[in-house]
Structure 1
Amino acid sequence: MATSQPEAADLSSQARARTRARTRPPQARTPAPDGLPVDLAGRKPSVLLIEDDPGDALLVEELVADSELTMRLRWVRSMAEASDALAAEVPDCVLLDLHLPDVQGLQAVSCIRAHADQVAVVVLTGLAEEHTGLAAVAAGAQDYLVKGRVEPDLFGRAVRYAIQRKQAEQAAVALQASQMQAQENARLERGLLPRPLLRGDGVEAVARYRPGRAQALLGGDFYDIVQSDDGTVHAVVGDVSGHGPDEAALGVALRIAWRTLVLSGITGARQIGRLEEILVAERVRPNVFATLTSLTAAPGARRVRTVRAGHPGLLRRTRDGVEWVEVPAGPALGVVPGGARWPEEELTVPAGASLVLFTDGLFEGHVGRGPERLGEDGLLDLAREVAALAPEPFVDGLIERAEGLAEEQGGLADDVAVLHLRWN
């Protein structure tokens, strides 16, 4: 609102007179009322006043001083100064005049939202501009006040409610984004976690998947098991490096490609080469790689063919206990595209024995509060503690013990996939 120099001087004189006449000392002011947002409890909300007229600025300072809501007020005269102020510190609320030397009207609201969209905005208008205040609210401001028609209590309440409304708006947006992310994660998890395709009773499969830290970040861990028409069992456990929807989507693509290759009769090192081609074509960054262990077991055989690509070892459960097994391996997929070789090895599986495949999230969690991790030896110790259990309680007990050791740091940070196979 433009004001002539005599009018500004008169307003300034009135404001100073009220300042001298005020008898209530600052320390005796009424404390902020209940209803403040939680993050403002115990501190004064900060307010940035953008007003080019010194007289109007003094009137606002008086409203702040007389309001029951104590606040920290900073005054700037233009949008350029406001931009610098917002870059230095983001306030809780902006009091905005729509007639500034470098920006006019609703464009001022747009400028504030462009610089700090999380800030509550209260527009200051003249008596004849109430329609402009309503338009400003429609454009994204939380409220408007008519200059010269605002009492201190109303002023404090307007600022407080504007901050609360903005925070409620942001919370609603965050909740909606969280719900959308959860739905997307659920869709990706359904792709990562298939139903085993078993045609007979020659093998018993138990599969588990646990997202790290309550699905804070979805990873690319995957598994699958397929039994072909002749009874041969094929299984895979893999892990795409990194976390997020891109890695999870790549894990889904690799899992589906693996099943397609198995059903097409392509196994062993040739199969791993095809999976690497798919990874290189689908990954969004050149440094993304994937590790996996794939195995094939003919019906009635006591030896299982395995191919390992940069993946951790596995557990073999027999009547004598549990042991850690590592067969010779090639590099992870995508590390040396087109130049890697993956040896096919045979692993003995005695009658009644089981193989347990898993991703590294199961043993890379921290133990207690320190930097020490569970590690492969620690995981083997946990497996031996539950060695006498049947397959399902064995797998669940193993994961629960690993989670329990990492509880002080919020649980397992990485996703975990486990596949337990027992041949009958």
Structure 2
Amino acid sequence: MARDVGEIPKAYDPSKVEGSLYQFWLDRGHFVPRIDPEKQPFCIIMPPPNVTGELHLGHALTATMEDCLIRWHRMRGDPTLWLPGVDHAGIATQNVVERELAKEGLSRQDLGREKFVERVWQWVHKYRGVISRQHMRLGASCDWEREVFTMDEGPQRAVRTTFVNLYRDGLIYRGERMINWCPRCQTALSDLEVEHREQSAKLWYVRYPLLDDSGNVTDEHIVIATTRPETIVADVAVAVSPQAERWQKIVGRKALLPIMERPIPIIADDAVDPEFGTGALKITPGHDILALEIGERHGLPRIVSVGPDGRMNKEAGPYLGMDRFECRDVIVADLERLGLLERTEDYHHAIGRCDRCDAIVEPIVSEQWFVRMEPLARPA
């Protein structure tokens, strides 16, 4: 006799099927690897999602591809492990928590370090569980008994051990390089963490008085165009394009740096764009990647005038302690008062912003750790 199964629903309702089926798999240990010394194991370490909120479609796509591979190897009888985990994503999580605090009219400074860290851990404990449950709802066949968090002692020890091993193998080194620095997050950013957006700006044309052979100021000058007058204090040279004929006769002479009143050399370099501004470029190796490259070719010093907090440091002389953009306005006013501001033009260019907090990124030369990738990539 046929069994009455009732009316077949018009639409599939996963909530009535998938939860109990997934629990069935868990209860019977189907996701736990069965070790067989005679067979080659297959293992995937889940790229741990950031504990900054809930999963998105990209996570679902990645999990689906990984699950297909895991299930295929498991059905082949291979010892198979899919290791799940969650990433603490330090700065990104901090920014999310700070936005939540802002809704309450608070900042991390209002709470103080201990209370703020406590709030971050509250967030982590909440969303770590949410992310794991979402993966389960996707049917991810992970061994959940082995789930790890990047702040657990095991992963931390693994990171420290790997760092020391890479250092001993000569693959990690320290060096001064131009980095993207976020004054608000107080951290270096990779190029992938910087969003460049076009915006309206100004191009200031500034006169740098020329010096004679005795070091005295003459009535001659060279004009440079800059979008960043606040970094004039860190200039170490003026470079001209060899194609800019108007400046060739003064290559080798010295100019007087406005405001700071120190002599700087005038050099020629092919990297200078003759079509930009006047064909003469202020060289600030501490705050510009092109200037850094030119400076290295000519053996010039590096001066960093903006501190980690986005305020002018002691290298900025009379502008010490000012916010970098406040300093810009004050320097422009001082240049105009001194008769050294020739003109100002409207200008559009791309400005780098931190993809976490939207603060304008400050390019600075800083000592950082780097990994030599060529020896690691060669075997691949």
TM-score (normalizing by structure 1): 0.24
Kindly indicate whether structure 1 or structure 2 has the higher relative contact order, using CA contacts under 8 Å at least 6 residues apart. Answer: 2
Q: TM-score, normalised by structure 2?
A: 0.25
- Larger-gyration structure (1/2): 1
